[in-house]
A and B are shown apart, each in its own frame.
Chain A
Amino acid sequence: MKNFLAEAPLAPSARDVLLDAFDQGWHDPQKLTQGASKARALRQNSLESIAAGLGVHPTEIEVLGEPSLGHFLTIQGFIQPTSTIFYSSVDKKEIQAIARAWQSAVELPVDSSGQINPDALREAKADDLFALQGANAETGVVQNLGKLTERFLSQSKNGSICLDFTAVGCHQSLPATWDGAIFDSRSWRGPQGLGIVAIKNGSKWRNPLPHINSVKTPQSFSLPLLISSAVALESWTSDAERLRGLSRRLRDGIRSGISDCDIAGELEGSLPHVNSFSFLYVEGEELLRSLEKRGFLVDSGSACTAEDLQPSHVLAAMGILTHGNVRVTIHTETTEADIEELIGALVQSVEELRKQ
């Protein structure tokens, strides 16, 4: 099977270290034994390594055993009683849920290319919070972080910026100004089940969870996963240009080989490895099955493949066709021949399904 799913196996170096880490890193770092001392050292080294890889100070890193809790912790930790939350129509549902539960929130629309217009932030005022997505996991569309953060802070002098970098990983640097950011270890081929949160030193963040001591976060993460994640990040290298070249070939091949296809976002304004295609008159679930029979695994944002049978809120916000959708993630291992084969399989599958 050729893997074009968003998920990929652990980086080989991270996999190798994981089992050893379970042997070496099982001690509770809080205790006073020699093993605990070693576990503390492993934890500190891993935190320093991850901080260096993400371009933040080690004391700004917090690690979570429940990744999706990170969105709540960062946003809720910065929110003030008078704050309005600005978020976008393409944000993750977890973020939209937090914003919609708050007393005052503004949903920012996106244009057909998936971009937020900075002028939509004109109503922002002091103490407001901007939940800003670095890039979208479904379409790969990257926001113009520099312009958006600049515009927000020109309106909201004491405002806070919380970045969702879960899809970005190391493909892009943090912007010059930020207060909180959340990452997903899987974006650099680290293990799942680990959330990485960065909270800017000196920021006004306060732990929103009930707590007695001074810890910022619950500290209930797995040390072996942290070590494995740090090793994965150390071994991660950018091959963005090669991935972008493969994405370009894929998009060109589909444009020329299949009629009536919507492609979400421009390649130059997107992550280099994420591609989203919607084929008119085709059912997404059938397309997934047809491709799997031909040996290709892809994701879909079509309603018929969603648990709640609702169309993708991201594609809907962009005005993109929501049925017949496939999301193709290109990985480091993907070759030019794989892309050619996938184009051929898509052409055949779409043609067959349209005839039915």
Chain B
Amino acid sequence: MKEINCTGKRCPLPIIEASKAIKEMKGGESLVLISDDPATRIDLPAWSRMTGNDSHQIAENRYSITKKATN
């Protein structure tokens, strides 16, 4: 699975980089975002709510993101 390492990057860069990466993916495909910015834990669910893509935390500083299925 594709990984994006945003360790050391502050808000909103981890969300921007994840968003750019997911644009290149197909619906239903997933990636792992690595981020130690405390804002990511809060902002990723908000980003999911706003964009319709799925995300959840899988470990400390690691998040799984799945692109929403397209019709």
Contacts and interface: CB of A to CB of B under 8 A. Distances in A.
Interface of A: 260, 262, 278, 280-284, 302-304, 309-311, 315-316, 319-324
A316 B19 contact: no
Interface in B29-60: 37-39, 42-43, 45-47, 49-51
A315 B42 contact: yes
A280 B47 contact: yes
Nearest to B49: A319
Q: Most chain-B CB neighbours within 10 Å: which of A281, A302, A321, A322? A: A321
A177 B16 CA distance: 48
B15 interface: yes
A279 to B, nearest CB: 9
A321 B42 CA distance: 7
Contact of A281 (B10, B15, B37, B38): B15
Nearest to A315: B42
B42 to A, nearest CB: 5
Nearest to A260: B50
In terms of DSSP, what is the predominant structure of the interface of chain A?
loop
B19 A281 contact: yes
Nearest to A317: B42
Q: Most chain-B CB neighbours within 10 Å: which of A280, A282, A283, A316? A: A280
Contacts of B69: none
A322 B43 contact: yes
B10 A304 contact: yes
A349 to B, nearest CB: 15
15 contacts: A262-B46, A280-B12, A281-B15, A281-B16, A282-B12, A283-B11, A283-B12, A284-B11, A303-B11, A303-B38, A311-B11, A319-B49, A322-B42, A323-B11, A323-B12
Interface string B1-21: 000000000111001100100
A321 B37 CA distance: 14
B46 to A, nearest CB: 4
Contacts of A310: 38
